[in-house]
Each structure stands twice: as structure tokens, then as C-alpha cells.
Structure 1
Amino acid sequence: MGSHITPNVDAILNQLTLEEKVSLLAGKNFWETVDIPEKGVPSVKVSDGPNGARGATFKNGPTAACFPASCLLASTWDVEAARRIGNALAEETQSKGARALLAPTVCPHRHPLGGRNFESFSEDPLLAGKMAAQYIHGLQEKGVAATIKHFAANEQETCRFTVNAHIAERALREIYLKPFEIAIKEANPMAVMTSYNILNGHHADSSSFLLKDVLRGQWGWNGLVMSDWGGTNSTADSLEAGLDLEMPGPTKWRKAETVLEEIKAGRVSERTIDACARNVLEFMAKLGCFEDPSISEEKSINKPEHQQLIRSVGSQGLVLLKNEDNTLPLKKEQLANKKVALLGFAKEGLIHGGGSASVNAHYRVTAEEGLRSALGDAIEFDYAQGAHTFRQLPLMNNMVVDRDGQPGWTLDLFFNEDATGEPSASRHSDVAAYVPIFVKEAWGSLRATAQFTPSQSGRHYLGMSGLGRSKVLIDGQMAYEQKENCPDSMAFLLGGVKEPEVQWDFEGGKTYTVEVTTLKPSKSGGLSLIDGYIGFRAGFMTEEEHNRDLVSEAVEVAKRSDLAIVFTGHTPDWETEGQDQISFSLPSNGSQDRLVTAVSSVNTNTIVVNCTGVAIDMPWLDKVKAVVQAWFPGQEAGNAIADVLTGAVNPSGRLPVSFPRRIEDAPAHGNFPGEYIDGQLNVTYEEGIFVGYRHYDRSEKHRSQVLFPFGYGLSYTTFAHANPRVSISENAEKFDVTIEVTNTGSLAGADVVQVYAGAKQASSENPVKELVGFAKVQLEPKQSKTVSVEFDTRQLAHFSEGTSRWEIDGGEYEISIGRSVQDIVGKLTLSVGAQSYKL
């Protein structure tokens, strides 16, 4: 952190009226806090998100660097890479006029269908916490505040605003709070963001247990607590629990008159108002806002050093899952004058997930572009799409003109709620959509009209959805009617509502009047920020496009090629904030699985490169030669992928999550996303502490349910491990595990040494072993290094709900050194005395 002249926060606080103090406790607008210029109080601007500083505009704003997703960052197992990413993100944040980044996300991956898993690090709390700590250091040493989120237990997106998560305190302490605890104690983030969900009956934003007892009490943290956007659920309760800042503004719960009434009634104390206001002022002071209160204009600065970092870390985080017959790396000289089929998403860069992690990237390098650049002109590439993967029909933007004959639509907006009479306003729209993101105007209804002249005859496809009740008319005839409000407004915003597809007979060259009407919903069914706002989208696809046999086209391309590379994955419509995955299979409706199976049946040299932030089903695994898990690598995706495929970079990524064989094998299966009780979704974390590898490690039967274990990843070279040792510090509080690692192959490469520990006589109540430390080592061919991994005695403790303390059972403990949680290369035994720790 740079040094700042520290203003006298108490003096500033003392000159504010009670109403002015209250005004500081909610945002001024979507991204800024309230300023009081006459009292010298500035405003501070914040920005999304974890893999890029987007700025104030949700879509199509100034371009920004798109960094690798946190799931990829975790698969590097390189804490220094996390710090460098944090440094670069700080510069990006400042380029958008912001001084705080709403990141990192650290909630553990509880279930493979978690919609926001990609945005977080790992199923393991130690790996997540250690990566997050260095990410935070990277941000804050460059003068930008980190906002660790979402505190706590936001492991699913289904009904995330209202779901009641029931979690026993042991599981909460050991798994779900642990990454926060590690990052907060090691890196001291300036801000914490609360989650939307209810935890054990209390909304997170008003949970005294989370905010007072744990965060500020037991962990001793002192910073700013802000709500997630629209995630404040009360006035008095949230204030008294210690929620300093309601976001966004203008306030919903903290109007001056409301808070003053709560003070008068004795439900809120003035001391609480002072404490919250002080935290807001101190946050500004740490960020230098009093010295320089300006909020600079947003800029797009495409830095070459950021490009290089994104490419380097992106390639480091790719995980080689299978490499039969050493099919990879691809060598230019071996492929000369041969044909390579590029199939699936080869021409579409899958660089990030959906929601607040999405950015308008400076650019995106596709896999095709990366491979063409790496392999040159001596190789003939052929392309086929191979699979329908759309979640919604493309917007009906082509072949339409508005009332004035201009390409696009006419939108008529009404204050009334039935779209009748003269409109209150009319405007042109280039797209067949009206999406209420950051809209400040609330209408009662909307009618969108266009003249549509199809280029070909056929029984074409229409799709439509609205936040409220809606309908589509073609030349006055009802084509489709949505009779209910949209059940999930967040899914609507993020493009994830599955729209019924309606067919309609059109004659090519004939002009039709298309009319869409949509009404204001009484309640949006999700994100409270858009309650009462209208919104719609209308899609269209020709019969020929919709029913095109893409698989057969791909098979023909694969047949005439010497090598086939199939790029599979999730677009931001399919993997996104706001909703969980609908299936363990790749979308849509098995189309990508059918593509891989069909291609591998006609080309024995088939490689799959998968871009998802989660584990997926791989029914074709035995039929392909190689598989690379590429996650979401950021704007340099194609180059990072090409670097690994061609051997310019030796893959060193290791899985930060377990890949189960079937979704039924996931430990949370049957308890995700929960069940409805009296109209409210409740989810019980019945698996307790046995999340991810902790579950699969319980028996040989469970281990066989894993397709690829936690910590797994292949290399183009080989490593040998020898001479494992452990030493104990004089005060018996630290262990130092060392092992000699040798690169026995012919290529330079990196190995990840993983250290696990558990009681030698395992109890069914405890995991067999847990990750206690790790280190990444880079080695030239035939080079050896002694790798050291240190961990604390306290990491062997488990939380006792009976004593409310961390307890270590005395006895012998086994230290396991592995290349993965299942591939153990060395074991050591040590004796530890019984110990007990206060919270």
C-alpha cells in the first residue's frame, strides 16, 4: 500500500449530523458511496469483478482486460501467480476510476453444478484461502481495496436470495468459513461482502454470528462490511449486526427517516450508526480519497504486460487430463502438410463465465487463431461447428425495420399496465430486447413492433420471454403467450431463461408485422433491484439453421483430417452467476457429447479441449487420445491453449476440484439445490465436512467414483520423488516437510508437491487426510531440487461442537506427499500431543 496522509476520522465524524452519518451507510448510486462535499467527505467508486475490472457499464462499456477465472488460477497452485494477477487487476481497477474491486470470491465448490464455481477457487479451503490471500496482497499493495465475498455459505445460485442453508457449525468452521479465515488473517482485505442467502435461519447481512462473533470478534478483523447488490434485507437488524454499507444506492432500507424511527424506538443505537459511519470513512481514508476525492474517467488501457501475464498464467492453469500414446504435444514438423480438423468452439473464445465476472474484453483470441499462429501455414485447417449449443434463439435483429423504415424495432412505452392508448414515450431499438439493467425509468408496459421480411420460406422458430406477462402477435394473430411472470429475473438478465420455441409458417419475401407486448411484473421473482421493471427479449431462427445436421458436417471434416481437435465447453449463457448448471452433461441436450463420440469414431487421433469452470461428464473419455481441461483462460485463451497443445508450455496445472464419474457420485448429491418447505427453498449440507476429496478418500469404493482426483494433472515430462523428511520446530508448533524432486524426463517442467495430513488411526468422523500445504517447483531436465512445505500444528485440529474449541487428538499422524490426493509418493509418521485452541 502506498502511504497516505491519514485524516482525523473522528474529527470528521464529530462534525456530521446524525442524518449525514446515516446517509453514508448506503450507496449514492450503483457503484459509488455518498459524498458530503460541504463537510469534506468524498465518494469512493467500486467495480466488478474477480477476473477483470469491468467499470460502471454492465454490457458493452469501455473495454477491459479479461484475466483467467479463479478456478484456473487455483489450478496453477502458484500463489505468486495469484499475487501478480492481483497487481494487474489493481491497475485495471484504477483505469476504471475505481478504488475497490469486488473480489475475490472464495466460497468452496460444494457441488459440480454450482453456477458460480468458476468464479471461486477450489473445493479445498486451504488452497482457496492461500490463493485468495495472495490475490488480495496483489491488489492492496497497489492501493486498491479487495472485497472478499460472499460471506458466507453462498455455494449455489438456485434461489440464492432466499435459500436457507442449514450447516452444522463444524462444517461451517472447517470448510465454508476457513478460506475466509485464512485470507482475512493473512492478507487483511479492506472490505468483506455479505452473501444473499440465509444461513441457519438468519440472513447473512444481518447475522450477528457471522459479522460480530466470528469476523470482528474471533478473527479480530476491522474493515468495511458491505452488502451484495440488493442483498440488504432489514434496517435495524443489519445495522446492529454490523453491516456498514448497503449497496447499491439509492437506499432501500436506510432512508434517514426510517433509521431515525428505529433509533427512537430503541432498535438501533446511535453508537451503532457512529461505528458503521466510522468504518465507511476509514475505508475512504485508507484509499486516499480525502487527499484526492476525484473519480477519474473510465479508460481502456490494453497493457502488453497484462497480455503477457494473462497468457502465461492461462497456460500454467491448463490441466492435461489424458495423453494416450503421447499424442500431445503437437509438433509443427510432424504435422507439416497434414490436415487438422478444428471443431466445436474453435472459432469462439470461451474466456469467462456469465454475470458479474463478465467483461467487455479488449479482445479475445480464439483457439483457431492461437493454433494458426503457433503452427503456421504448413498445416491445413478445416472447421465445422459440429453442435447446436445455443440456450436461447438469437435475437430477432435481422430482416426487421422499425416504424420509420430503419433497421431495428420501435419501442412504445406506457405508464399504464396494459399497453393501450397513446404511448407515453417511443424510441428506436437496434435489438429485439429491453433489459432493465441500470434503468432508472419504470414503465407499466411496453409494445415492440417491427416489419419482418424473411429471406426464405419455412416453418421458422420464434422464442420470447418477458419479466412480466407477455405475448407475440404476427399480423395480429397470437403466436405465443407467456401467461405468468418470469420465475427467475436473474436468469432473464443473464440470458439463461429457457424460452419455449414456437414455430410459425413464413413466406420468403413477404412482409409481416411482428408485435411484442410485455407488462410490468408485480414482483420479479429474484433480484429485488429490478422488482417492478419491465423487460423482454425476442429470438428468431430459420428452420434451415435450427434443424441443420451439424454433427454430420463435422464427421465429414474429421474423416478427411489427420487429426481432430474438438473444443467443448460452456458459453456464459450456460455457466453463469444467477443459476446453477442444469446438467452434468455438456449443453445442449447432449449435442457436444454426440459430436465428440461421432468424431472419435471416424478419427482415431481425436483431442478434446474443454472450457468449463466445473467438472463435467465425459462419456467419450475412452474414445479420445487426449483431454485438456482449459477452464476459462481470459482474453489470451487461444494462445494459452495453443502454447500447451504445441508444447511451447509444458502443462503444470493440477485439478483444484475432484471430477466425479457421475453426478450421483458427488457428495452433495441429493442435497443440492435443496427442497421447498412452505414455499421456501431449504438446503441441508448433510455431507458435513466430507466435501470433495474428503468424501472420496473414505474408502476404496468412494475413490473408484472419481474420474480425476483432486490435485491430478499430467506433464510432458516425468518426475521422481525421494528422501521425504519432516522436522518439528522447537516449540512444536510448526512442521517442515521436505522431499527431493527430480525431473527425469527430457523437457523442462513444473511439479506440484502436495502435502496431506491425517491421524494414522483414522476416525470415521474425520477425513483420512487433508491438504496442509503445497509448493510448485520448476525443473530443467535431470535437475533436482529439495522442496520444503511448512505447516502449523494447528492445521491438524478439528472443530468440536461440544467444547466450541479446535481440538487435536493426541497420537500418531501420517504425512502423505502426493502428486494428487490419490497418487502418494512418500509417507512419514509423527507423534503429536493432544491440544486445544480457543476460537
Structure 2
Amino acid sequence: MLRKHIRVLSLMMTMAMVIMLFPRVPFSFADDKDVYLEDESSIPKLLEVMTLEEKAALLAGDRDSQKLKGAAGSTLGDLYEKYGIPATSLPDGPAGVRIDPLPGGTAPDGTPLTRYATQFPNASARASTWNLDLLSKMGEAFGKELYYFGADLLLAPGMNIHRHPLNGRNFEYYSEDPLLSGKSSAAEIKGIQSKGVGTTIKHFAANNQEKSRHNLPTNVSQRALREIYLKGFEIAVKEASPWAIMTAYNQINGTSPSQNPELLQKIAREEWGFDGIFMTDWGGQGNASYWKEQPGNNTYSSMVKAGMDLSMPAGNADQIIAGYQAGFLTMEEIDAAVTRVLQYILKTPAFDGVKPSTDHNKYAEESEQAAFNTAIEGMVLLKNEKVKGKEVLPLTGGTIGTIGNATNNLVRGGAGSGNVNVDTSKLVHLARALRDTGATVIDATENNYPQVDSILPVGGFGGDPAYKEMKPTKEQLAKDIVNKSDSVIMTIRRGSSEGVDVAAEKGAYYLSDAEQYLIETASALCRKAKKPFIVVLSTGGPIEMESWKDKADAILLSWENGTVLGKPIAAVLTGKENPSGKLSTTFPIDVKGVAKNGYSYVPSTTFGESRVTYNEGIYVGYRYFDTFNVPVSYEFGYGMNYSDFHYSHPKLSAKKFDDSIKVSIDIKNTSKVAGKEVVQVYVGAPGKTMHKPVKELRAFGKTRELGKNEKQTLTFTLDAKSLASFDENRSAWVVEPGKYTVYIGASSKDIKHTLNFTVDKEIIVEKVNDVMKPVVEIDELVPDRSR
């Protein structure tokens, strides 16, 4: 509040100087002509005095009013002197604030100051922690940096569903499951916004591929939209109140999201209670209006009429004015959007007069610790077999041999809006990180081995170039590495980027011939010598593993760790830390072909086309694999660690469901190693009037760190909404009567206990608007109960 009074006083002094310099120009601080943005009560008067041109300009975004260099965009700054409406800065992105490292400040010695941001692990890694308290703390660290650097509204988190493993932006989205996505994003949003800056959930909605992404015609049923693609957004809005929602590029059922009042107003505002601002994606104004062609209906007027507030990074004020002059737009609709933008500005650091820091990142150490903790809990131990009667990991001594060029070329994060300018001098790759733990390392990249083509270029918005792989002879590998080492680690990397999907080719989704050769050769040599062979995956999403996973004794999925890069990997490999991550997305056997029962290895068969129809309906991810008995390489929710846990005493608070029911389970650490366990609660519904997946994730939790023989009871509450399915015929969330099965498990397949309760009569939880109907007939996948 003090900052606002100082700002007002400063403004008054400035105006007084203007009066003295130009005495013929009448000026008063807040009379009927001169009104300033001070609080919400000042907005109605501003609406009276602002011209149509000024209102339209405020809704059109701004490319140039940047107080934060490197931010992706800003709101209009030209109204500050007249109305006290400052520009606000909108930087990317989902893994850390993306700003220019050289803001223009200078150190005392005259050298340019750099201010590097912290890059946190990618969203899939963060969701794989299944630890909402940890994500909230990471969000707090993120929020401190945003405020310090001078950001107002973060263009993140991204929270679209992993519909297909090859989606190029899966790295910056959380999960294939809407509950895990929604809860993870809500935790981070609450952490970030607790520091006085805003967040933007994106891309609203059903934005699930990069190919043809601009205006991609997307056909999806109301039920799939509600249960899968909107549910995470709904959770985030209701639990965390993000300041903004960014619409997606694609069309949904014939209309661009940015021009669809059913999506923006009926669902988000009316049903969910969203009270923030809507903005377009950059250049995502769309080309398919909700209204028929008529005078005044253009892209920009259609957006305002639909409930859109900001056209980014710039709009067209003249087109908004034309829409009003033709009678298509009303002043009430324009004023509603202007009001929302002003309400947003009132909450920002910019309105409080906060200036960007041009000093070094004073929160770097704190943020890096948060990134490290998140990386540890998000890494997934996929395999850990025994060699000579002992589990391979953790490595507790001896010499470590490292092979593969990725050993010293780990993936920090994805490209595009997910990129972050970091201090590269801090980046520690795996060989050095292992040495920093005290391990003795023989690094094959230090040998002058022949190099062959291997990884394909990623492309997109700044994606990785092509990379080569080492190709030592079998004799060289044996002599230089295997014979001199007690264990061998091979690292495989895969970059990713906004703007391009992952290619279903060798060197992208599939291993290259060079990588296959290195795995096969090293595996054979290690097994002959009875030495462990370990594979580390440095990647933002799934790759094909079925053809080679049996050749490794241990596999660690490290995801993309950001600034801390190789440090948490080394800590986990050497046992200084215990990984506790579980997969936030399924690793299928393949993205091509069919299983023995005739069903595709992945459900979304129309992925990558120039028009897509979501024929798989609600059967996305594990919902598909479990219901249709399709085998996978590693299932949703799967992950090992260095501890062993016992699940016991499963209980329900009742046998019949009333308003809610509680599920409890005791978790005991039966090993000597302290660790944390993720508990997942799935529910199978009757499926009488609506077909249902075998089971769906309805709750989850993570224990605290449990020592030897230590026990913790976890309790979960299931309410009616968490059990409900969407009935298209009635536009309602409905709980069917009948028998429900509760599955308590360590993954979607590793079920430890089952319990049952009944619902005596149908419960209509919520009736909603009958909107977002498909414009084409969709032949959706339905389980054949006779099979």
C-alpha cells in the first residue's frame, strides 16, 4: 500500500511540474476529466472517460512496452501518463523465466551485468514427483525469481494432456492423466502466485500436437473434452485461481478457442468461476468465428464478443472498432474486457511500481536447491536388477566407466517457449558430476573414438542439431572401459522443441543404429565380465525401449533437469539420494503397430494429421492400455527406488457411499534405506449407462521420508464429483448406482489391495451447459465387454 501512495505522490509531483512548465494547459489530478487507475472503484469512471480507441488499443496487446527485456510480450504502456495504467511484462515459460541475460546494467568495474534465471526440471519430471508440497515450494522459488526480475504474469504452466508420446511439447506438459496434471499445476500456481506474480495456464484446450498446429481442426466428443482435456484446467482454476488462461491455436469442433464463448464464458467463467483474463497464444487469434459471417464480424471483434481480453503479442484495434461501429460488438462487451484487463493490472508488481532488477540473481542458490530436490523426487528408476547377487544401483564404490557422447551432453530442457537463459558455467554433465561425488570415472568421451551419425536434428523453434555417437570397436571398448571399470553407464539423450513433433524414426523416437550398437556391445561385454551395465535417459518424454531394455541391468530416467543438470543424476546413481519418482506418462511398447489382440500400441491413431478426430474418446493413456489389455514397456505410475514398502490395513470409512468416502492405507518401509513412496488410488465404476475404463486415478499421495520399519497412514477422500462421469445426453456429471472397486496401488498395474463400496442410487452431481458439440460424427472407441 505504501508503494501505491509513493507512486501517486510521484505522479502528482510530475503533473505539478507539467503545470509549471505549461501554465496554459489546465490540469487537475482527479476531476471529472482526469481519472487514474487506483483501485477497482476507479474502473467505472475510467470506462466513462476512456475513448473507444483507447479501450480497443488496451485489448490489442503490445509488442514494445517492455520493462523486462526478453519477455514474450506486454500489455499497452501508452496509457500510463494519461490514466496511470502501466505496461505489464509477460515472460515465458514453463521451466523458468525466459528473459535476456543482459538487461543493460553494469557492474562497478564497468562490465555488463548478467542475470541468469534458474531452469527447473521439465513438467513431466515435476509431475513424476507426485509430491504437491514439493511442487508448491518449487513454485515459491520460481515466484521469487519472477518478482525479482520484474515479471508480472508468467506464460505458464502448460498443462495439456499427453495424448500421444510423439507430441513435441509433451516435455512442458505434466501427464496423460487430468487429475495429476490439474493437481500438479495447482500446487505450482499457488506457490508462484504467493510471491505476488501471476500465472497463465495454457493451452486451452486439446492442444496435443505441433504439426499443423495453427488452426488445426480438432474433433472431440463432449465427454472426452470434459473428462480428459478440460478436467485439469478445471482443477487448476478452482483450486489455485490462476490470473490468466491462454487459448490454444487449434480449432475445437469447428471454432477457434479464442473466438468461442461456449468455452470461455459458459465453461470457464460461468461453470468454473474463472475471474482472470483470457489471452490468445502468440499469433493464435484463430480463423473460425462462433458467429456467422456478417458486417463487423472479424477475427478481433469476434474474440472480444466471445470473452477474449488480450490479443497477443499484438492485435488490431481498428478491427475492434469496426466491429462496434457495425453493431456486431456492444460497448458493454468491450467494457467487460477492459475491466478484466484493468483488474489484472491492479494485481501486478508493475502497478506497485516494482522495477526489474539488473543485478545478479540473488535467489540462484535457493532456486537451484529447489530444482535439485524436485529432480531427485522426479527421477524414475525403471529397472534395477542384481549382478553377483547385489542390486546394481546404487553404485557404492569402484571405478565407473561412462560411454556415449550424451555423458557430457545432457539435455537441460526443451526449446522454444520452454527455453531458459541460464548460467552455462554452472552446468555440470554426468562424468564430472560423478567425479564430484568422489567417484573414480573413466570417461569414454575423452578417447578419440570414431564418430558416426546418430541423433537426428530436432528442428522447431531452436531445437537441437544433429549429433554423432562414438563407435569404438568391441576390442577398444573392452580394453579401455569395461576391463578397467567395475560398472559401466551409458547415457542416451533426446532433445525436444516447440514447433515440431518427435519423428517416429531412428535417432528420434527410436534408437539410432550407433546407439543400438553401443548398447549391444557394452551389454555383452559387461555380462561376460559380470559387471553392471546401466543406462541413463536424458529426455523430456518417452522413447522406444522394448527392443533394448533387457540388455541393461539398470535404467534411470532422469528427464530434463534444467540448471542442476547432472548433479542429481550422480547423487542418485551413487546412493547419496534415493529417487522416488513414478511415471507421469506411459512408455508404450511402440508408437507403430498393434498388439496381439488387434488393438494399436497407442490409442490416438489420428495423431499427426492435418485434421484430427479423437476417436479414442476417453481412452487416453493407461485408461486405454488397461481397459483394452494392451501391453506397455512401463506403465503409468510405475517407478522403483532403493527402499521397499509394504501396504497393509486398507480401509474404507463406509460400505455405502453417501456424500463422500474415505480410503486409508498403511505404508511401512521394510528396508534399511530411508525413502518415500507414492500411493495411487484408482476407482472402477459400474458402467451401466455409460461405458467406463477399467479404473481411473481418483486420488494420490506421497509419504514423508520413512526410515527402517517406520510407518505412515495415508488417508484419501473421494467425493461425488471425483466418482462422476460426464453424461452427454443430460449434460451432467453423474455417479451411477452400483458396485465400485477401489484399487490401491504402487502403479496403474501394481495393485496392492482392492476394496468395494456401493452407491445405492444415481447422483446427479452437477448439471452444466450443453456446449462444445462436435460438428462431425465421431466413431469413438468403446470397450467390447464380450471379449
Contact 1:586–1:617 (CA<8 Å) still a contact in 2?
no
Q: Deviations over 1:363-388 (max 9, x none)?
A: 32211121111134x55444368764
Secondary structure, counterpart of 1:235 in structure 2:
helix
Cα distance, 1:493–1:730 mapped onto 2, change above 3 Å: closer
For residues 247 and 58 of structure 1, the distance between their equivalents in structure 2, rounded to whole angstroms, comes to 24
Secondary structure, counterpart of 2:434 in structure 1:
helix
Cα distance, 1:121–1:781 mapped onto 2, change above 3 Å: same
Q: CA deviation at 1:308?
A: 1.3
Secondary structure, counterpart of 1:707 in structure 2:
strand
Contact 2:655–2:758 (CA<8 Å) still a contact in 1?
no
For 1:6, which of 39, 52, 58 is the aligned residue? 39
Cα distance, 1:242–1:297 mapped onto 2, change above 3 Å: farther
For residues 755 and 495 of structure 1, the distance between their equivalents in structure 2, rounded to whole angstroms, comes to 38
Cα distance, 1:56–1:829 mapped onto 2, change above 3 Å: same
| Match runs of 1:125-140 below 5 Å | 125-140=178-193
Q: CA deviation at 1:56?
A: 4.9
Q: CA deviation at 1:64?
A: 1.3
Partner of 1:110: 163
Q: CA deviation at 1:267?
A: 1.6
Q: CA deviation at 1:598?
A: 2.5
Secondary structure, counterpart of 1:155 in structure 2:
coil
Partner of 1:309: 370
Partner of 1:746: 672
Secondary structure, counterpart of 2:437 in structure 1:
helix
Contact 2:454–2:513 (CA<8 Å) still a contact in 1?
no
Q: Which runs of 5+ in 1 are unaligned?
A: 393-489, 499-544, 675-680
Mean Cα displacement is larger for which, 303-312 or 277-286? 303-312
Matched, 1:243 2:308: yes
Q: CA deviation at 1:612?
A: 1.5
In structure 2, what residue type is equivalent to 1:600?
S
Partner of 1:709: 635
Contact 1:610–1:631 (CA<8 Å) still a contact in 2?
yes
For residues 350 and 621 of structure 1, the distance between their equivalents in structure 2, rounded to whole angstroms, comes to 21
For residues 270 and 729 of structure 1, the distance between their equivalents in structure 2, rounded to whole angstroms, comes to 56
Q: Deviations over 1:614-645 (max 9, x none)?
A: 12111111111000111111111211101111
Cα distance, 1:146–1:666 mapped onto 2, change above 3 Å: farther
Contact 1:343–1:564 (CA<8 Å) still a contact in 2?
no
In structure 1, what residue type is equivalent to 2:487?
L
Partner of 1:598: 521
| Match runs of 1:214-233 below 5 Å | 214-233=267-286
In structure 1, what residue type is equivalent to 2:75?
T
Partner of 1:435: none
Cα distance, 1:666–1:191 mapped onto 2, change above 3 Å: farther
Partner of 1:732: 658
Contact 1:328–1:646 (CA<8 Å) still a contact in 2?
no
In structure 2, what residue type is equivalent to 1:494?
G
Q: Deviations over 1:485-508 (max 9, x none)?
A: xxxxx946424799xxxxxxxxxx
Total equivalences in the alignment: 676
TM normalised by structure 1 equals 0.76
Partner of 1:196: 249
Q: CA deviation at 1:726?
A: 1.1
Q: CA deviation at 1:757?
A: 0.5
Partner of 1:656: 584
Contact 1:64–1:302 (CA<8 Å) still a contact in 2?
no
Contact 2:3–2:353 (CA<8 Å) still a contact in 1?
no
Cα distance, 1:372–1:286 mapped onto 2, change above 3 Å: same
For residues 229 and 25 of structure 1, the distance between their equivalents in structure 2, rounded to whole angstroms, comes to 14
For 2:617, which of 688, 691, 698 is the aligned residue? 688
Cα distance, 1:745–1:188 mapped onto 2, change above 3 Å: same
Secondary structure, counterpart of 1:749 in structure 2:
coil
Q: Deviations over 1:656-715 (max 9, x none)?
A: 1111112134433431112xxxxxx2001110000000001114x42xx11111111111
For 2:563, which of 603, 622, 635 is the aligned residue? 635
Contact 1:44–1:295 (CA<8 Å) still a contact in 2?
no
Q: CA deviation at 1:774?
A: 0.7
For residues 739 and 652 of structure 2, the distance between their equivalents in structure 1, rounded to whole angstroms, comes to 14
Q: Which runs of 5+ in 2 are unaligned?
A: 5-37, 64-71, 104-112, 287-298, 593-599, 769-787
Contact 1:109–1:117 (CA<8 Å) still a contact in 2?
yes
In structure 2, what residue type is equivalent to 1:264?
Q
Contact 2:454–2:469 (CA<8 Å) still a contact in 1?
no
Q: CA deviation at 1:40?
A: 1.1
Secondary structure, counterpart of 2:99 in structure 1:
coil
| Match runs of 1:420-439 below 5 Å | none
In structure 1, what residue type is equivalent to 2:572?
V
Cα distance, 1:818–1:549 mapped onto 2, change above 3 Å: closer
Contact 1:387–1:551 (CA<8 Å) still a contact in 2?
no
For 1:608, which of 535, 538, 563 is the aligned residue? 535
Cα distance, 1:387–1:568 mapped onto 2, change above 3 Å: farther
Contact 1:762–1:768 (CA<8 Å) still a contact in 2?
no
Mean Cα displacement is larger for which, 145-154 or 792-801? 792-801
For 1:365, which of 420, 423, 428 is the aligned residue? 428
Secondary structure, counterpart of 2:45 in structure 1:
helix
Secondary structure, counterpart of 2:192 in structure 1:
helix
Secondary structure, counterpart of 1:722 in structure 2:
strand
For residues 3 and 739 of structure 1, the distance between their equivalents in structure 2, rounded to whole angstroms, comes to 50
Partner of 2:172: 119
Cα distance, 1:547–1:820 mapped onto 2, change above 3 Å: closer
Q: CA deviation at 1:167?
A: 0.5
Partner of 2:56: 22
TM normalised by structure 2 equals 0.81
For residues 257 and 404 of structure 2, the distance between their equivalents in structure 1, rounded to whole angstroms, comes to 45
Secondary structure, counterpart of 2:73 in structure 1:
coil
Q: Deviations over 1:573-616 (max 9, x none)?
A: xx111111002655374432332222212222210000112121
Q: CA deviation at 1:171?
A: 0.3
Partner of 1:494: 462
Q: CA deviation at 1:718?
A: 0.8
Partner of 1:320: 381
Cα distance, 1:56–1:202 mapped onto 2, change above 3 Å: farther
Q: CA deviation at 1:647?
A: 1.2
Matched, 1:261 2:339: no
For residues 134 and 347 of structure 2, the distance between their equivalents in structure 1, rounded to whole angstroms, comes to 25
Matched, 1:566 2:485: no
| Match runs of 1:549-588 below 5 Å | 549=471, 557-560=480-483, 561-571=485-495, 575-583=496-504, 586-587=507-508
For residues 670 and 763 of structure 1, the distance between their equivalents in structure 2, rounded to whole angstroms, comes to 26
Cα distance, 1:26–1:765 mapped onto 2, change above 3 Å: same
Matched, 1:282 2:343: yes
| Match runs of 1:148-227 below 5 Å | 148-227=201-280
Cα distance, 1:42–1:93 mapped onto 2, change above 3 Å: same
Q: Deviations over 1:110-158 (max 9, x none)?
A: 0010100010110000001001111110111111101000001111111
The structure richer in strand per residue is 1
In structure 1, what residue type is equivalent to 2:671?
G
For residues 178 and 785 of structure 1, the distance between their equivalents in structure 2, rounded to whole angstroms, comes to 30
In structure 2, what residue type is equivalent to 1:266?
G
For residues 173 and 547 of structure 1, the distance between their equivalents in structure 2, rounded to whole angstroms, comes to 45
Contact 2:489–2:536 (CA<8 Å) still a contact in 1?
yes
Partner of 1:775: 701
For 1:95, which of 132, 148, 164 is the aligned residue? 148
Secondary structure, counterpart of 1:817 in structure 2:
strand
For 2:752, which of 822, 825, 828 is the aligned residue? 825
For 2:417, which of 344, 356, 367 is the aligned residue? 356
Mean Cα displacement is larger for which, 229-238 or 730-739? 730-739
Contact 2:135–2:184 (CA<8 Å) still a contact in 1?
yes
For residues 431 and 400 of structure 2, the distance between their equivalents in structure 1, rounded to whole angstroms, comes to 14
Contact 1:367–1:639 (CA<8 Å) still a contact in 2?
yes
Cα distance, 1:764–1:626 mapped onto 2, change above 3 Å: farther
Q: Deviations over 1:394-423 (max 9, x none)?
A: xxxxxxxxxxxxxxxxxxxxxxxxxxxxxx
